Amino acid sequence: MSISTFDLTLERLALLIPGHWDKVILTAILISLALLFSQIWVRYLARGQISAEKRRLHLVWARNIIWFAALFAIISLWASTITGFALSLAAVAGALLIVSKELVMCVHGYLYVTLVQPFKVGDVIEFGALKGRVIDIDMFATTLTEFDAAGQATGNVAEFPNGLLLTTPLRNMSPTGTFSLHHVRIPVPEAFVHDLDRIEIASMAAAERVTGPWRDEAIAHFRKVSEQQFIHFPSGKNKVSWDFSNPEHLVLVVRVACPSDERSGVEQAVFRETWKAMVPQTSPPGGD
């Protein structure tokens, strides 16, 4: 029954559209104008002398109004035609939901990824209990190469249905492209809490040495991304801070900017050099 209803809807659509080419042309013009005005507004904001936060706010506000006006005009233009199809379209939608709700959710999730682009192939994401690099996105599922807690590839491949994107929070670890900010967390034993200044100096020296080959390029990259996306990202400079949320376990947090695919190696190098500075060097066995 659902197939015959769907075929009937297509036949009625085929019969009606030839008599409404003027509406089709006007719809295409409205969409083109909305795209044009959006791009003009983006270029105008890019030349302005306002902060990134205000640019982003103005961009979202103007874009929503432009597309709302275009959508309202299109709906008004097709109102009489849409009314005649309301019952048929409702019947087709109901039949599809009955056949497979999960399948429809997966397709909607794919449309969400395509239109909103919360992530793309090559990005590192956290999704529920999964963490890894996106290697494939198809109509029904997204595939990752899995990472462990230390950011090392496990060799496993994980997959989740796109329908879950509509209900599960997602974290993109690569929102800024080539370079990303990474936070190295180093636990500080209680025996060393009397010498925090020396630990800070050692960790900063380690971060400066490890990120030296690309530090200037990373700072320029974050400045460019902030201007293009109208979002105020950190400068990309190395920074040291303390996490004392748990008084019994003091943690040193070292923020570094590094290539997105080298986070694990940078973390290991900063940790080793900082730990060497914290732990007293002992003489080898048999020494004087």
Any idea where the domains of the chain sit in the sequence? 2-99, 116-172, 179-278
Q: What is the pTM of this model?
A: 0.61
**Which pLDDT value is given to residue 88?**
57
Name the CA dihedral angle for 186, 191, 197, 200, rounded to a multiple of 10 degrees. Answer: -10
Q: Does position 97 have pLDDT exceeding 70, yes or no? A: no
Q: Does position 19 have pLDDT exceeding 70, yes or no? A: no
Residue 47: exposure state from Cβ atoms within 10 A (0-12, 13-18, ≥19): exposed
Q: What is the pLDDT of residues 45-79, one digit of tens each?
A: 877 777 766 776 677 778 888 888 888 888 887 77
Q: What is the DSSP letter of 185?
A: E
3-state secondary structure of 149: coil
Report the range out of 12-21, 24-33, 209-218 with the highest average pLDDT. Answer: 209-218
Domain 116-172 falls in which CATH fold? SH3 type barrels. (2.30.30)
CA dist 143 and 136 (Å) reads 5
**Which pLDDT value is given to residue 283?**
42
CATH topology identical between 116-172 and 179-278: no
Architecture of domain 179-278: 2-Layer Sandwich (3.30)
